[in-house]
Amino acid sequence: MHGTRILEEADRLMTVCNSCRYCEGLCAVFPAMEMRRSFSDGDLNYLANLCHSCGACYTDCQFSPPHEYNVNVPQNLAIARAESYAAYAWPRAFSGLFARNGLAISVIAALSVAAFIFGFAAFNDHQVLYGIHTGPGAFYRLMPHNAMALLFGAALLYAIIALTMGVRAFWRDIGEPVGGRVDAGSLFQAMRDAGELRYLDGGGVGCFNEDDHPTDRRKIYHHLTFYGFGLCFAATVVGTLYHYLLAREAPYAWWDLPVVLGTLGGIGLLIGPVGLLTEKWKRDPVLVDQARMGMDVAFIAMLFLTALTGIALLLLRDSAAMGPLLALHLGVVFALFVTMPYGKFVHGIYRYVALVRYARERQMMAHGAAAK
């Protein structure tokens, strides 16, 4: 007996798949499945988060619909995965944010942007808000650096705490001891697997999207998004270090490291999400969790808006639009930070954790085989 209807179905599917095993060469899900004969809720949530939704097992399956066995692993695991995000959310009271995630994220983003605009207007007089500011410290005439660092530091800290608590719940649920040491090898292996999106490739040919012609587009757009996000984050970190360690204040010249990182990242973060969204709209509905479309779109939109407002700020920072754009950009980034634990962002965290678990299991199996 399982906690939800969708996990009941996941159990049925894994029982079918475990007696077939033709897909074992496609990704990590099926080898992980083969290490088990029965499946707890935690096992199924682990497999769900291990799945990268490439769709190959659906296209390759002789039992997918209209066959009476009705085997549709990608869609079932997509739904199970989304439900697991809500189940592991911390604090529990906020798990409802996953139910109508698109709406929730939109409202939070709008409120956040409004708060920054209102705050800028309330704390600055009209001339400062629409004034032209250049040179070091220009941004901080609108909002003091320490206030900015404190607010965003707090938002990020909260996100990290909430995510950590979610990961703890997930880790415990999939049967790993909390507090136990995880070997560096597994962490590194999972980092490589995640970094390469090793399992988002249909076993080598690419993902299945709108039809049975495999393509690498989703992988490429995801790389642009992920590494774009990483570069933007790196830009922020470098800027903060400049400020506190070198006493060099933003805005920086176009050739300076934070701007170069931010611009490159921003470009990735503009193209990547647009591509992902396009692919998402084209994707065969049979492969996806349609009820969760809002969650996916909201996160993609937030990343896109972060990049768009950031780039706009860079281009127009010497004009009178700088004040309102800064408020807009900070509002979007703040909303992105505080909603990280309650939106699609968590997919990366749980999938990484699942990959760590998988690396550990593989290692244990290898040791077990060697011992025999």
In the complex, least distance from residue 63 CB atom to another protein, rounded to whole angstroms: 6
DSSP result, 125-142: -HHHHTS---STTTGGGT
- In the region spanning residues 201 to 220, those forming contacts with another protein, defined by CB under 8 A, are 203-205, 212-213
Binding-site residue total for another protein (CB under 8 A)? 29
**24 part of the interface to another protein, by CB under 8 A:** yes
Name every residue whose Cβ is closer than 8 Å to that of residue 101 and which is 6 or more positions away in sequence: 292, 294, 295, 298, 342, 343, 344
> With 0-12 CB in 10 A as exposed, 13-18 as middle and 19+ as buried, what is 322?
buried
Give min distance, CB of 8 to another protein, in A.
Answer: 14
15 binds another protein per the rule CB under 8 A? yes
21 binds another protein (CB under 8 A): yes
Q: How many CB atoms lie within 10 A of CB 291?
A: 11
With CB under 8 A as the contact rule, the residue among 3, 22, 99, 318 that binds another protein is 22
- At 207 the three-state DSSP class reads strand
Residue 283 φ/ψ region, left for φ over 0, alpha for ψ in the -120 to 50 degree band, beta for the rest: beta
- Find the shortest distance in angstroms from Cβ 363 to another protein: 17
> How many other β-carbons are positioned within 10 Å of the β-carbon of residue 211?
11
CB of 14 to another protein, least distance (A): 9
**Given the complex with another protein, which of 120 and 208 has the nearer CB atom?**
208
CA-based torsion, 160, 161, 164, 166: positive or negative: negative
Part of the chain binding another protein (CB under 8 A), chosen from 16-24, 135-143, 221-229, 231-239: 16-24
Task: Please report how close the Cβ of residue 73 comes to another protein at its closest, in angstroms.
Answer: 13
Region 40-99 residues binding another protein, contact defined as CB under 8 A? 56-57, 59-63, 66-68
Q: Which is nearer to another protein, 181 or 372 (CB)?
A: 372
26 belongs to the binding site for another protein (CB under 8 A)? yes
Assess 18 for contact with another protein (CB under 8 A). yes
Q: Give the residue from 358, 339, 359 showing the smallest Cα distance to 85.
A: 339
Cβ within 8 Å of residue 193, ≥6 positions away? 28, 199, 355, 358, 359
By the criterion CB under 8 A, which residues form the site for another protein? 15-16, 18-26, 31, 34, 37, 56-57, 59-63, 66-68, 203-205, 212-213
